[in-house]
């Protein structure tokens, strides 16, 4: 199903269970390479990116089996350090296997990974950090080759808080001789999840949740069980869906402690967000109010992955808002499709737009160009008058377990076609 058809104009009502986190599951699955024993990873979302990661791990020699509540992985036999090109194309998250394979095999051969077209996302910071730990790199005919005679601890200061680089350094550091200190480390909850899984395996990591991590390398790692936390971006998507449609929704098990910046924006839009034992209960205003400004930032700031959803919601809000994107340079691919729906959005510069809310968006034919922007177009279609069709939905399925089913449970008239 590469298209999603939406009949707009229905306020979302009811409750929806929040799936496990995509951004936590992928590096944790990569980390299962580092022990020769069995790990059970529960609450893994059944999304395209996780299925691709499972296939990639199997291609490397691991035994991986889906079970009712998660994934069982045994990495006793890792037969190769080469990632098949067809397995990593379109999957930027395969990059987190770089540190894990170097740690386990001492060498890696891979094509440059793909993913969403939301920015350049160069990997030079990954290479710089791993070189300090004793890894040699070379490029040849579009391939990246990495090899080490032995990883050693190092002090690494990141020029910016890269999530992917932080993950790769952690994965290599737990297998290195000596201690590794990461300064300027990313603080995203997904980093915490990776560290907590590795701690359960026997690693020693200090400073979790801060910008300075100290990893004691060379300790034996064991198999364990670990539960992936809920996905804060999926929760934020349905939160903005409720606001865009003037609905009332319970986000079951939503990780509200990770969503402080998002909840502040939601409340400034006129929504009442109550934290309960079940999750987040959202009562939206009949029409959202525009906030003065939104600026994306690394965690704990407003997440770039929810910027498109906020933009789609504000397109129908009362008032105007300036949105500044500081993480990825190509996050505004939703602007032109939203304009087709009647949105009033003006570019200030390549990283900033001004959105003036209109009374009603109208249905349109649109194409998703990337994961989060595709989900944002679905939200816009929910709030619009008339029918909409969103194509290119293979991007959306990379991060949402069953977005059509979830929305139908909230009363939306939506179907994959």
Which helix H or strand E contains 213, and what residues bound it? strand 212-216
Which helix H or strand E contains 51, and what residues bound it? helix 48-59
Q: What is the DSSP string of 121-186?
A: --SHHHHHHHHHTTEEEEEETTEEEEEES--B--EEE-SS--HHHHHHHHHHHTTSBSEEEEES--
- The tens place of each residue's pLDDT in the chain, 417 residues long, gives 799 999 999 999 999 999 999 999 999 999 999 999 999 999 999 999 999 999 999 999 999 999 988 999 999 988 666 776 655 554 555 788 999 999 999 999 888 665 454 445 568 899 999 999 999 999 888 788 999 999 999 999 999 999 999 999 999 999 999 999 999 999 999 999 999 999 999 999 999 999 999 999 999 999 999 999 999 999 999 999 999 999 999 999 999 999 999 999 999 999 999 999 999 999 999 999 999 999 999 999 999 999 999 999 999 999 999 999 999 878 899 999 999 999 999 999 989 999 999 999 999 999 999 999 999 999 999 999 999 999 999 999 999 999 999 999 999 999 998
Question: Cα(390)–Cα(402) distance, rounded to whole angstroms?
Answer: 15
Q: What is the DSSP string of 65-82?
A: EEETTEEEEE-S----SB
SS3 277: coil
Looking at the annotation, which residues are catalytic?
116
At residue 407, φ and ψ (nearest 5 deg) are -70, -35
Helix ranges, 255-396 (H): 260-268, 307-314, 335-340, 371-383
Q: Could you tell me how far CA 353 lies from the centroid of its own chain? A: 23
Q: What per-residue confidence (pLDDT) applies to 92?
A: 56
SS3 108: strand
Question: Domains in the chain, ordered, with CATH?
Answer: 3-19+230-416 (3.65.10.10), 22-227 (3.65.10.10)
Question: Cα(365)–Cα(388) distance, rounded to whole angstroms?
Answer: 6
SS3 110: strand
Q: What per-residue confidence (pLDDT) applies to 1?
A: 73
Cβ neighbours for 368, distance < 8 A, ≥ 6 positions apart: 374, 377, 390, 391, 392, 393, 395, 396
Report whether 177 contacts 150 (CB < 8 A). Answer: yes
| pTM beyond cutoff 0.75 | yes
Q: What per-residue confidence (pLDDT) applies to 241?
A: 98
Query: Closest Cα partner for 407 from 16, 2, 3?
Result: 16
Question: Cα(259)–Cα(172) distance, rounded to whole angstroms?
Answer: 29
Burial of 269 (0-12, 13-18, 19+ CB in 10 A): buried
Question: Cα(161)–Cα(415) distance, rounded to whole angstroms?
Answer: 39
Cβ neighbours for 345, distance < 8 A, ≥ 6 positions apart: 311, 315, 335, 338, 339, 353, 354, 355, 356
Question: Cα(396)–Cα(388) distance, rounded to whole angstroms?
Answer: 16
């Amino acid at each position: 199903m590469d298209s999603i058809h939406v009949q707009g104009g229905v306020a979302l009502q009811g409750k929806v269970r929040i799936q496990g986190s995509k951004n936590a599951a992928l590096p944790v699955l990569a980390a299962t390479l580092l022990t020769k024993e069995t790990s059970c990873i529960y609450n893994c979302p059944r999304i395209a990116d996780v299925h691709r990661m499972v296939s990639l791990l199997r291609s490397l020699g691991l035994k991986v089996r889906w079970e009712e509540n998660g994934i069982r992985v045994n990495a006793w036999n890792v037969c190769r350090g080469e990632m098949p090109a067809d397995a990593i194309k379109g999957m930027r998250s395969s990059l987190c296997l770089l540190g894990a394979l170097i740690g386990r095999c001492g060498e890696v051969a891979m094509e440059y990974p793909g993913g969403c077209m939301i920015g350049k996302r160069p990997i030079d910071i990954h290479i710089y950090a791993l070189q300090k730990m004793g890894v040699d790199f070379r490029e040849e005919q579009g391939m990246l080759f990495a090899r080490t005679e032995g990883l050693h601890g190092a002090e690494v200061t990141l020029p910016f808080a890269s999530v992917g680089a932080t993950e790769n350094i952690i994965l290599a550091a737990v297998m290195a001789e000596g201690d590794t200190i990461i300064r300027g480390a990313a603080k995203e909850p997904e980093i915490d999840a990776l560290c907590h899984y590795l701690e359960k395996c026997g690693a020693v990591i200090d400073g979790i949740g801060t910008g300075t991590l100290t990893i004691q390398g060379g300790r034996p790692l064991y198999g364990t069980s670990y539960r992936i936390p809920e996905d804060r971006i999926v929760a934020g998507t349905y939160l903005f869906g409720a606001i865009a449609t003037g609905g009332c929704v319970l986000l079951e098990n939503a990780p509200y402690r990770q969503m402080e910046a998002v909840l502040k924006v939601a409340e400034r839009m006129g929504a009442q967000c109550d934290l309960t034992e079940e999750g987040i209960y959202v009562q939206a205003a009949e029409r959202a109010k525009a906030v003065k400004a939104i600026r994306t930032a690394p965690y704990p700031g407003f997440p770039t992955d929810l910027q498109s959803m906020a933009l789609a919601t504000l397109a129908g809000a009362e008032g105007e808002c300036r949105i500044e994107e500081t993480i990825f340079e190509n996050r505004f691919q939703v602007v032109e499709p939203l304009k087709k729906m009647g949105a009033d959005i003006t570019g200030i510069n390549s990283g900033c737009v001004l959105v003036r809310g209109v009374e009603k968006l109208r249905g349109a034919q649109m194409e998703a160009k990337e994961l989060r922007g595709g989900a944002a177009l679905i939200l816009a279609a929910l709030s619009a008058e008339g029918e909409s069709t969103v194509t290119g939905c293979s991007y959306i399925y990379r991060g949402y377990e069953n977005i059509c089913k979830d929305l139908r449970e909230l009363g939306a008239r939506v179907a994959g076609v």
